[in-house]
Copies of this chain bind each other. A is one copy, B any other.
């Protein structure tokens, strides 16, 4: 049984700000807690949307948009209920790190979690077993974080259930990001996506930039996307804005992923959004410990659009250097 207790009611009318409280004994507080902020806004009868950010602690578009929504949405605006978790992996958010500093766990590979597991596993377990069942539609925000950079897109998965896939795809399009991505997940074990889809829910995820920063542009995409999704779900009034401008992308297979074949410093030869041809050089990798040595060159395994890239200047062998997607 989960040790987590919410400090606010999850089903009361009105707007409540509080925490999911997880007791956690640590050297600097024997009777301490991990506190995961939560806001619930309930208006007239209607569906429930669960909006989550901070699955990884160094991705900020979602948390920023959700803090703003938690601040500005009022029960009178809402037909149904909006549950907002801007900081799912609260310890990682405080530390500004992808994985939890408490247990080193990558939250998005530990679902459905464990009630008697580590801190991250306990949070995942609570969200999966207590919050997801309350929802009709789930939006989980991601960005590239400190080490990846993405073209801004909302995404849906190819699913076995055609109706569910259609619902997810429609919601993805409603989000109205500049790009919309259909993905066939190869290694879906442990993902929040998989857990939510497994419960038959409509699910949308995003990648809205990267580098561990937010821009005014990416913040607006994130905020408008949530409003659009809530309008699409009938929870907010009004019609979806700007969704028609979104361009389609797909990542059909493993060849999309390009890995560094050496350690060193990256000299990119193509940027996000550039079209590249098969065999075209994507980047050079230079050593940082000496001069006068030829760089390693990484070339495109396939043609397409550069949709993601390694962000930091330094790279290690085996890091994903770039992803080339199919446009259209």
Q: Which residues of A contact B (CB under 8 A)?
A: 3, 17, 19, 21, 23, 25-35, 37-39, 56, 58, 60, 63-64, 66-68, 70-71, 84, 86-87, 90, 93-94, 96-99, 106, 109, 116, 144-149, 187, 189, 211-217, 219, 257, 259, 263, 265-271, 274, 284, 286-295, 310-320
Contacts and interface: CB of A to CB of B under 8 A. Distances in A.
A160 to B, nearest CB: 19
Nearest to A219: B267
A286 B23 contact: no
A39 B214 contact: no
Given A32-B316, A149-B213, 18 more contacts: A3-B187, A19-B317, A25-B109, A26-B98, A27-B58, A29-B315, A30-B56, A32-B147, A32-B320, A63-B288, A64-B286, A67-B265, A90-B289, A94-B289, A96-B313, A216-B270, A219-B268, A263-B289
A31 B315 CA distance: 11
B216 A271 contact: yes
Give the copy number.
6
Contacts of A60: 265-266, 313
A23 to B, nearest CB: 7
B291 A317 contact: no
Given A25-B99, A32-B316, A96-B313, A214 B267 contact: yes
